[in-house]
Chain A
Amino acid sequence: MNAIASLILSGGAISMLVAIPFLAVWALPYVYGIHLEWLFGIVIPYVAVIIFFVGIVYRVVQWAKCPVPFRIPSTCAQQKSLPWIKYGYAEKLDNPISTAGVVGRMILEVLCFRSLFRNTRMEFGTDIKYKSAKWLWLAAIVFHYSFLIVLIRHLRFFTEPMPFFVPIIEKVDGFFQFFLPVVYQSGPLLGAALTFLLLRRLLDPKMRYISLPADYFPLFLILTIAGTGILMRYVLKADVVSIKELTMGLVSFRPVIPEGISVLFYIHLFLVSVLFAYFPFSKLMHMAGVFLSPTRNLSNNTRIVRHINPWNPTVKLHTYEAYEDDFREKMIGAGLPVEKQAASPADKE
């Protein structure tokens, strides 16, 4: 599968996913008088959320059930050895020896993308040079945190009264106070970061070569979700009151389909449902997987504490006795001590 085919496939899939709710919610009532809002507004979101949670739990349990036979952290700093060799905070975090160090390392990894921060770019010529390359790290950080803020802002639709932090986040997110309604920076930032990640995939020949449809699809999907959301908020001005009636109905398990909700909302909701349902089966599971990664979440203390392998195999060994039997005469000849003396010629008969 080359890049063009991958793009066509993922792009086509997204178009279909947009077309389905559009046709079902917008066209069907006109043509056949059939109303499917309940399907797209109630049934599919419920199913998607169930798949999301059950799927993630299932995948994590599958991973967790799998044993960790060896303790193999990637040690990215000086080990703890002699007391006068520096083993400070940086070392404790990049080559941890204690649980606290591991927790610190994981916090840095999960919240700050520590490993990605190391990224360098190689320049190949008559000499090879390495340049710092923080763009990938920056785009990843912007993308993930913008997405998180957008999610938190959406709690407005699912809680009554809102948790105290939602208005605070909104306030901070709309800090620059321009346009009406006030533009939340997380929206454009999310779009910009996603666009960077997409362009990087398309323009760097290495990236284009390794990318699969499964890499383009989530990018397109989240871009479309963000796009429909931004359209609703700033351009087409969705009926927020009715939408909140629907979303509150969902979380209170008394689902209703209020009148007057635009098809754009159903497209947005359907794509979000697709994202939720797709999540457990996709590379997006890295969100949960990073916590279980044995090269990051184990301490480098195997010389201090024995790590147990639950399936430590019993293997055939070549014992010293067998070795001495193989080489006894040569060993005696070389003046090496032996456990058993060489058989006398009489014994040999």
Chain B
Amino acid sequence: MAKIPESWNVPTPEGLTKEVDHGPLSLGLEKGWMRTPVEIKPGMHCYAALPKRSVALDMPYPRDWSAMDEDWKLPRNWREIVLEGFKDRLDRFRTFKLFMDICVRCGACADKCHYFIGSGDPKNMPVLRAELLRSVYRKHFTTAGKLLGPIAGARDLTLDVLKEWWYYLYQCSECRRCSVFCPYGIDTAEITIIGRELTNLLGLNIDWIAAPIDFCYRTGNHMGIQPHAYVDMIDFFVDEIENYTGVRVEPSFNRKGAEILFITPSGDVFGDPGTYTAMGYLVLFHELGLDVTWSTYASEGGNFGLFTSNEVMKRLNSKMYAEAKRLGVKWILGGECGHMWRVVNQYMGTMNLDIAEGSKMEEPVSPITGTKFENAKSTKMVHITEFTADLIRHNKLKLDPSRNDHLKVTFHDSCNPSRGMGLFEEPRYVIKNVCNHFYDMPASCIREQTYCCGGGSGLNAGEDMELRMRGGLPRANAVKYVHEKNGVNMLACICAIDRAVLPNLMEYFVPECDVTGIHEMVANAMILEGEKEKTVNLRGEPLPGREESE
């Protein structure tokens, strides 16, 4: 068993699981949840946004504050601000209004939330997370609630209630698993998204979201990588690829007249094991001779604006179309990322398609196979696994899957491409063609019922490790199952947050299992024109059975 870093401040996996109790309340004599005040625990929340993060985006009420403090230094009229914001959103989002009204508390969602499963905290049941807001809605916006108060399930918006909102809104990863099981399709992510918009009216964002959106607005990506550094990073990959394969790839940046603009989360350029996935993209594009350019301005596929407010999401997303238009590309190819694809699939066209007016963009066609991507006719953006699956289907890649024979692979469906898109077969098709050993996890943990990695929606910080391990427990449990049953040693995913979060989760629960992006495995299986004899993979690790003979 690997040693868990002390800085994580978490009990052992056994200890962590043991203290979880999902039904600790007996006899019905307990205090009701409305009268149980929130206890803000360290390790279960993220640090508050630093004031400097709000400058570029003009976010309101920047200040130094901490969730652990008694005084959150709120503006004096915070209550009016929240209630006005609440009312405004009830009038603008049918989802919000409807979801405030129609829940029957059937409890089908209760044990579907990974944070509830891993923590046992009843307020992490999706129904109660929503009731935290509904109770205030009833008190301030319904007649019965105004007249009957707690009898009608209504309660006033007090400082304690606001703190409780904040704590639990930032303990939801907006994964939408509960919405799959809800008989009325009530989507807790929607309630959390709007609840977080309300917290942002008071300057109550967390730094792990506030910093990326600030960086992204100014430098084009969440990591805050400036253009020259971005190019440097990719150049480093180019050298590494040459080292390992003998092939020198030649990516281009901000190049006008390219056919395709490629956009991927900056996490892939910055952090392992995402970097190997980025190298995989480079190898693939080179081998195909694809007329593609990267952009340093639109150097972020992800969008932490989704976790802040719809306005910030729109401001950050606009760069994709603006850059596609400026460079005169025909369409956009998108890398492996989770929430990026929820934004691209369900929000981007609605928010920003008018920016693309007058551009050279057209319905995407694969220049290699001639396939028309009819399902991206309007947004003109194609997912890289759609693109690669099509290539493989048309035999356009020379593949030797035995190069991945040391891997026994399972696939983690990322929440957003699963429940906000339905991207299930494309990645599996690609994996099965580049690996000989693939084992799916049980049906209750994959596809539309997939579990969060534990750190989605901006919660992948370092200070909330306990929250992440608790939230990741159901996913880790399923990986452990296929590890023990099939010897799985590699967890593949198509999400940059997954690639940042799952390695820690595996280290904690299933240390024998590593994490990879799909295009890392694709590139490793590809037989490249002019390659030297392969002895190592893109990580520089020797390939079993092909070690250099000295």
Contact = CB atoms under 8 A, between A and B. Distances in A.
Do A and B come together as binding partners? yes
Interface of A: 1-5, 7, 9, 59, 62-63, 66-72, 74-82, 84-86, 91, 94-95, 109, 113, 115-116, 118-122, 124, 126-128, 130, 136, 140, 200, 202, 204-215, 281, 283, 285-286, 289-290, 292-296, 300, 302-309, 311-313, 315-320, 323-324, 326-327, 330-331, 333-337
B297 A323 contact: yes
A74 B351 contact: no
B263 to A, nearest CB: 14
Majority SS of interface residues in chain B? helix
Nearest to B134: A212
B62 interface: no
Nearest to A13: B151
B228 A331 contact: yes
A336 B151 contact: no
A77 B17 CA distance: 32
Contact of B102 (A72, A109, A289, A320): A289
Contacts of A327: 219, 226-228
Contacts of B26: 205
B231 A206 contact: no
B28 A3 contact: yes
A320 B323 contact: yes
A307 B351 CA distance: 9
Contacts of B217: 318
A317 B318 contact: yes
A207 B152 CA distance: 17
A306 B345 CA distance: 10
Given A2-B28, A95-B422, A306-B378, A82 B105 contact: no
B346 to A, nearest CB: 5
B187 A333 contact: no
Interface string B442-484: 1011011100000000000000000000000110010011000
Interface string B398-425: 0000000000000000000011111111
Interface of B: 17, 20, 22-26, 28-35, 56, 58, 90-95, 97-98, 101-108, 110-112, 117, 122, 125, 127-128, 131, 142-144, 150-153, 176, 179-187, 190, 217-220, 226-228, 231-232, 253-256, 296-297, 310-311, 314-315, 318-319, 322-323, 326, 344-347, 349-351, 353, 371, 373-379, 381, 386, 389-390, 393, 418-426, 429, 442, 444-445, 447-449, 473-474, 477, 480-481
23 contacts: A4-B29, A59-B101, A66-B93, A67-B93, A69-B350, A74-B419, A78-B424, A82-B371, A116-B181, A127-B481, A209-B32, A210-B128, A210-B131, A281-B144, A289-B102, A293-B184, A294-B94, A302-B378, A305-B378, A315-B318, A318-B56, A320-B319, A327-B226
A47 B128 CA distance: 35
A128 B474 contact: yes
Contacts of A113: 183
Contact of A206 (B122, B255, B376, B425): B122
A210 B444 contact: no
Given A66-B92, A331-B227, A78 B422 contact: yes
A290 B375 contact: no
B377 A317 contact: no
Top-5 shortest CB links A-B: A79-B422, A3-B28, A289-B102, A334-B228, A205-B23
Contact of B183 (A82, A109, A200, A302): A109
A325 to B, nearest CB: 12
A75 B421 contact: yes
Contacts of A67: 92-94
Given A66-B91, A294-B98, 13 more contacts: A70-B350, A75-B419, A115-B183, A204-B107, A206-B22, A207-B107, A286-B104, A289-B98, A292-B94, A293-B184, A303-B381, A304-B377, A307-B349
Contact of A86 (B254, B419, B425): B425
B156 to A, nearest CB: 15
A128 B475 CA distance: 10
Contacts of B143: 281
Given A128-B477, A212-B105, A115 B422 contact: no
A307 B91 CA distance: 19
Nearest to A208: B28
B190 A306 contact: no
A320 B297 contact: yes
B28 A72 contact: no
B184 A2 contact: no
Nearest to A307: B350
Contacts of B390: 82
Given A74-B185, A294-B94, A204 B23 contact: yes
A69 B35 CA distance: 35
Contacts of B319: 317-318, 320
Contact of A302 (B92, B315, B349): B349
A19 to B, nearest CB: 19
Contact of B107 (A210, A281, A308, A312): A210
A306 B350 contact: yes
Contacts of A119: 108, 181
A209 B393 contact: no
A142 to B, nearest CB: 14
A285 B107 CA distance: 17
A116 B112 CA distance: 12
Contacts of A69: 92-93, 310, 350
Contact of B231 (A82, A320, A335): A335
